[in-house]
Amino acid sequence: MKTRLLYIVLALYLCVIGCTPETRVVDTRNDPGKAVIVLDYRDFAETASEMVQSMIGSGALNKPGGGRYVMTTGKIQNDTMQRIDTDQLMAKIEEDLLNSGRVVMTAAVGGKGAPDQMVYDTRDIRDSEVGTEFDPNTLPGKGQLLMPELSTSGKIIQKVLTYSKNEQQVEYYFQLRVTNLANGLVLWQKEDLIVKRGSKKTVAW
């Protein structure tokens, strides 16, 4: 009886293992997966690329006299029903901007995710008794931090509309602008729109 019970348990275990869906690694550079009603990594990657290409193409990042602008990221407001980490979007935008060679990003000041606390921790060491233990030539001097010249800020907006009896339309507006911090003038601004349609039974948040 015990042997039979053991075989039954083993059979059930093998059935569960065999029925478990196979895990696949997704090629994010060529993902033919189905579209989803919420924002996914493809939306972030595409939007970031379009924003940066527009920014560069506009000439807003062409610094008079040459060189690169010092830029920081300001506030990116999430006005959607989703718990979007706006740092995820801005990380890709900042990466593409850095790779463009038009700007350098500062970690000394900024919005969400900045400043890098180590920038100021090293200066605390310099001005403390602990600093005497370090080679003074390796400690950051005063007056070396650079103020940002440009700032990016923006907003993500979501609207849910009735498309038909059984379908909904979800609209996502990505708004971004570049501001000259010296005079407050907006040098560049863009709004990208992503529209998705799907069943009303699908949760859009």
79 pLDDT more than 80: yes
Q: pTM to 2 decimals? A: 0.77
Determine the Cα–Cα distance for residues 178 and 154; give it in Å rounded to an integer: 9
78 pLDDT more than 70: yes
Q: Is 52 contained in some domain?
A: yes
Q: What is the mean pLDDT of residues 24-48?
A: 79
pLDDT in tens, 145-204: 899 999 999 999 999 999 898 999 999 999 999 999 999 999 999 999 999 998 888 776
pLDDT in tens, 105-155: 998 887 666 678 888 888 888 888 887 888 888 888 888 889 999 999 999
Q: What percent of the chain is predicted at pLDDT more than 90?
A: 43
pLDDT number for residue 120: 83
Q: Is 158 contained in some domain?
A: yes
Determine the Cα–Cα distance for residues 61 and 57; give it in Å rounded to an integer: 9
Residues across the chain: 205
DSSP β-ladder status, 167-180 and 150-162: antiparallel
Q: Is 128 contained in some domain?
A: no
- Mean pLDDT for the chain? 84
Q: Which domain holds residue 68?
A: 38-106+146-199
Q: Which is nearest to 110 in space by CA: 152, 167, 172, 50?
A: 152
Q: Is 141 contained in some domain?
A: no
Q: How many domains does the chain have?
A: 1
- Alpha helix segments (H runs only) across the chain: 2-19, 41-57, 86-100, 117-126
Q: Is 157 contained in some domain?
A: yes
- The CATH number covering residue 150 comes to 3.40.50.10610
How many Cα atoms occupy the beta-carbon half-sphere of 96 within 13 Å? 18
Coil, helix or strand for 17? helix
Q: Is 11 contained in some domain?
A: no
Q: Is 132 contained in some domain?
A: no
Structure-block tokens of residue 129: 């008794």
Q: Is 60 contained in some domain?
A: yes
